[in-house]
A and B are shown apart, each in its own frame.
Chain A
Amino acid sequence: MTGVATQVRRARNTSWLPVSFALAQRSLIGVLRIPAAVIPLIAMPIFFVVAFSGSFSRLSSLPSFPTDNVLNWFVPFAILQGSAFAGFGTGFATVRDIETGFYDRLLLAPGSRVGLLVGPVLASLVRATFTVAVVLLFGAALGADLPGGVVGLIALWAAGLGIALISTGWALGLVFRVPNQRAGPILQIGIFFSTFLSTGNVPLADQTGWVQHVARVNPLTNILAMARQGFLGEVTWRGTWPGLVAIALSSVVLWLFAVTGIRKLTP
């Protein structure tokens, strides 16, 4: 008996990396097999680019608006929204696995639980990279430019990956606690509130009232600033580090939420 327990413990301690890669690969194949899963990754951000830049094109004439080209403002915003959906996608896939009983089999297997958390993250990061590439190309085709060059692109990509990391933590933490499809609206409300109550539409200086106060302390405001730098001018350390700190702190909080969640899921 003790021998079996030792073997299981050893298996859990040694095999998280292959499990992570296998789960990430499975998640990505799932995207290819379910075309509807591409909609939030690509179609939604592209719609946001078209709708926001079309509807609110004249916002660029506001006094504090930092660019004449409204696409330079909204393309990074849409990319970060798509990156958030990349994280949610893995959350929805986990719900499906829990409902079909596949997740129970994963929990019973003598593999590491770490792999069950790292696998979805890897999948989210790949999905987010896909979103960054496609939406950026679409934005460029419409007329967005990136005066910040390669460094600006790296800042945008890092922000996209950061958002995917955060949203995966939020999604997994939630679906481990609400392991059914009802988690979906709660997941979306989270991103909906955080994006609307930030500098998504206009800069802080052009906002008024309570929303301005909320946007000032919203971590997404700093991450957006980091992502937008390359579109608005040169990338600076001063414009980057608050975004990195926001990603790090949000990730710690939401990944604690996920880790404690998976513990609740297992007896």
Chain B
Amino acid sequence: MTVAVLDAHEVRIGRRQAVDQARALARRSVVGTLRQPQVWLPGLLFPMFIATVNTSTMGKAVHIPGFPPVDSLLDFLLPASITQSVLFGGLTAGSDTALDIQTGFFDRLLASPVSRTSILVGRLAGASVTGALQAVVFMVVYGIFGVRIAAGPAGAVLLIVFAMVLALVIGGFAAMLALRTGSAEAVQNVFPVTFIGLFISSAFFPTELMTGVYRSIARRNPITWMVDGMRHQVIVGLDWSEAATSLAVAAVLAVLAMFGANRALQSRLRRAT
């Protein structure tokens, strides 16, 4: 027996059906991304290139007093690279939502008996799975170049979970923007903002070695809280308290992002009827 769900668009869907639809849409999202290397490849190569260049140009910075104890700058940069990649990938998910609107696929979904919530959940679940894949790729590639996660397999799992939640954050905000504007270009314009947010954080350099106003802004940046917690697992060892802080910040932001995206969806549905 299935329970009928009445959503905002008066579509009666069984709960199991809604889950199946969300799963199918998530699969479509992941497969759609994987089929377009021009979409996901820059998100992997760009952070790797930056990490490689920074390791070569600023590798000696790890000897500056106050720098966290690491064998190589690459150890320090692993969580930053994952964060950077997931942020870019999440924006792609938002752009895809906008493209669905621009190409009319979104309207076709609305015309079909698909749970409205599944449309959003499917897209975000797809972004989350893509985020997990990105984290695995970075851990494997950086592992080949000598990076070892001090927290062991548990630390690796924590990094994957972190990447999945972070993908919900950026994917949620990007989907909200896509649903509000219906423009892929508007979503892509967020890129500089994420770049600035990433730069004014501890992603590429420890806040302990920053000075003045910049340091105080970086210390208050949620990206710093998230990256530092995960970095602890990579360079120091397993610490549940640090991990919980990092994941809690990401989870709160994810809830806010999904709430915003859901409201944008409801608003678009109202306009569509």
Contact = CB atoms under 8 A, between A and B. Distances in A.
A212 B60 CA distance: 13
Interface string B19-58: 0000000000000000000000000000001101111111
A58 B208 CA distance: 10
B61 to A, nearest CB: 6
Contacts of A55: 199-200, 204-205, 210, 214, 218
B255 interface: no
A207 B52 CA distance: 12
Interface in A177-235: 196-197, 201-202, 206-212, 215
B64 interface: yes
Contacts, number: 71
B53 A58 contact: no
Given A196-B53, A197-B53, A207-B56, A54 B200 contact: yes
A56 B53 contact: no
Contact of B196 (A51, A53, A201): A51
A206 B66 CA distance: 18
B59 interface: yes
Nearest to A215: B57
A47 B199 CA distance: 10
Interface in A30-75: 47, 50-51, 53-59, 61-63
A50 B196 CA distance: 11
B61 A208 contact: no
B209 interface: yes
Contacts of A63: 60
Contact of A57 (B50, B59, B210): B210
**Contact-residue bracket for chain B:** 20 to 34
A215 B57 CA distance: 10
B214 A56 contact: no
Majority secondary structure of chain A interface residues (helix, strand, loop or mixed): helix
A47 B196 contact: yes
Contacts of A56: 58, 61, 205
A96 B220 CA distance: 41
A209 B199 CA distance: 24
Please classify how large the interface on chain A is, using the bins under 10, 10 to 19, 20 to 34, 35 or more. 20 to 34
Contact of A58 (B55, B66, B199): B66
A201 B57 contact: yes
B60 A206 contact: yes
B112 interface: no
Contacts of A208: 56, 59-60
Contacts of B212: 54
B211 interface: yes
Contacts of B60: 62-63, 202, 206, 208
A202 B49 CA distance: 17
Given A51-B199, A58-B64, A62-B64, A201 B209 contact: no
Given A54-B200, A58-B61, A58-B66, A209 B205 contact: no
Nearest to A211: B56
A206 B57 CA distance: 7
A202 B57 contact: yes
Nearest to A185: B42
A210 B199 contact: no
Given A54-B212, A57-B210, A207 B57 contact: yes
Interface in B53-92: 53-61, 64, 66
Interface of A: 47, 50-51, 53-59, 61-63, 196-197, 201-202, 206-212, 215
25 contacts: A50-B214, A51-B199, A51-B200, A54-B211, A54-B218, A55-B200, A55-B204, A56-B205, A57-B209, A57-B210, A57-B214, A58-B205, A59-B64, A62-B60, A62-B61, A62-B64, A196-B50, A201-B54, A201-B58, A202-B57, A206-B57, A206-B58, A207-B56, A208-B56, A209-B59
Interface of B: 49-50, 52-61, 64, 66, 196, 199-200, 204-205, 209-212, 214-215, 218
